Amino acid sequence: MIEILKLPPVHKGIFIDRPNRFLANVKIDSSKVEQVHVHDPGRLKELLYMGNSVLISRAKNKNRKTKWDLLCARKNSEWIFINSSFHRKFSEVIFHKSLIPALSPISELKAEVKVPLGRLDFMGKIKDKNIWIETKGCTLIKDHIALFPDAPTKRGKKHLTSLISIKEKGMRAAVLILIFSKNIDYFSPNWETDPDFAREFYRAMNLGVEIYPLSLSCDGKSIYYHKTVPIIRG
């Protein structure tokens, strides 16, 4: 277990409801209800339900309408991290700590890189060869299997198509899947929720796009790296 990043100070609360994708009502201090920003477009139904425990932190921008950000939700004995605004920072630390040998050492790392179909999270150099990398956060766990996505994602499929195009031109392309649980044995694309994404996932993998599902965990204070998780073959 390797510490990736310390979290900002957190406050415990009780989830009430989610009026829309980006907003939640959370009860804190026994009775006070606060509006909290949800920085994750997923459905998160197994995590965000009335009465579940959550962790929130104060927004850095004091002028923002919502004064709090949602960080984690409880599932059994774990805090599941559900704030996608941290994904890029987690990935950067993973790169710089050389936790994925095949992606080390990486240099000249650039974020939000334009490609013909949009943008990818990173481009860097490994041994003077360019590599393009996309990062996905995964919070859905069933029977110790991590599943992505938890909602249909045309954008996610488009990212895979972009990486395939890069790979077919003879360059390196990779996907980091940040799985926010240590209680997992395998990763699989979620056929039931998005078969189009699942098909593109295995097409990318079979064509040589590198895919690294990574098990991370949260104790309410820090994020930790555990291991690379095997992929169930399609």
pLDDT at 24: 97
Residues 67 and 167 grouped into a single domain: no
Residues 112 and 198 grouped into a single domain: yes
Range of the domain at 32: 8-81
Domain boundary at 61, 81, 101, which? Answer: 81
pLDDT at 183: 94
Residues 216 and 143 grouped into a single domain: yes
- 234 occurs within a structural domain: no
pLDDT band at 41 (very low <50, low <70, confident <90, very high): confident
- In a 13 Å sphere around the CA of 105, the CA atoms on its Cβ side amount to 2
Residues 29 and 94 grouped into a single domain: no
* CATH code of 192's domain: 3.40.1350.60
Segment 121-180, tens digit of pLDDT? 999 999 989 999 999 999 999 999 999 999 999 999 999 999 999 999 999 999 999 999
Domain boundary at 57, 81, 105, which? Answer: 81
pLDDT band at 230 (very low <50, low <70, confident <90, very high): very high
- Gap between the Cα atoms of 173 and 185, Å rounded: 25
Q: List the one residue out of 71, 39, 78 whose CA is nearest residue 57.
A: 71
Residues 106 and 124 grouped into a single domain: yes
Residues 88 and 77 grouped into a single domain: no
pLDDT at 31: 80
- 2 occurs within a structural domain: no
Q: List the one residue out of 198, 209, 208 whose CA is nearest residue 234.
A: 198
Segment 52-91, tens digit of pLDDT? 999 999 998 888 889 999 999 999 999 999 999 999 999 9
Long-range contacts from 12-16, C-beta under 8 angstroms, 24+ separation: 12/53, 12/54, 12/55, 13/53, 13/54, 13/55, 13/56, 14/51, 14/52, 14/53, 14/54, 15/48, 15/49, 15/50, 15/51, 15/52, 15/53, 15/54, 15/73, 16/50
Q: How far from 123 is each of 10, 105, 112, 179, CA to CA, in Å?
A: 32, 13, 8, 21
Task: Give, in degrees to the nearest 5, the angle at Cα 15 between 58 and 153.
Answer: 85
CA atoms 34, 150, 146, 8: torsion sign: negative
Residues 48 and 65 grouped into a single domain: yes
Domain boundary at 50, 65, 81, which? Answer: 81
Number of domains comprising the chain: 2
- 220 occurs within a structural domain: yes
pLDDT at 188: 98
